[in-house]
Amino acid sequence: MYQVLMVVHVLIALSIVGLVMLQQGRGADAGAGFGGASNSVFGARGAASFLSRTTAVLATVFFLTSLTLAYLAGNQDNKQSDIMDIPVTEDAAKRDLPPVSMDPPAPARSDVPAVAPPAQPAGNN
């Protein structure tokens, strides 16, 4: 239902944009472009009132769909399963790395001789 309402909402918005672009401004002369007097092409405000009423109806429906979409989005259960929330348990035989032991690491053997700490002077205690 949410997706259908969203598609209807977008179509209404595009229709409103188209209707507003078709309407003439207050100072525009629609008939003057065709060589006649202004407002005589479509009648005395016949087309303007039809377009403005249609725009008003579509704007009302647009607001209602906006409120409905907001209501549905607010009451929608957003708890979805996420792959990051599920702990993965793998079989030890399937891992490509050796298992990690909790023993402390053994001291590394080296060919470099160990350096003795410096001796303390005899007078300092």
Whether this prediction's pTM lies above 0.85 is answered by no
Contact assessment for residue 23 and residue 51, using Cβ atoms and an 8 Å cutoff: yes
What is the sign of the dihedral through the CA atoms of 62, 64, 70 and 73?
negative
Give the per-residue pLDDT at 98: 67
Mean per-residue pLDDT of the chain: 76
Is the model's pLDDT at 5 over the cut of 60?
yes
pLDDT tens digit sequence for 71-93: 988 887 766 666 777 777 766 66
Q: What's the Cα-to-Cα distance from 74 to each of 34, 46, 66, rounded to whole Å?
A: 52, 42, 12
55 burial (CB, 10 Å; 0-12 / 13-18 / 19+) is middle
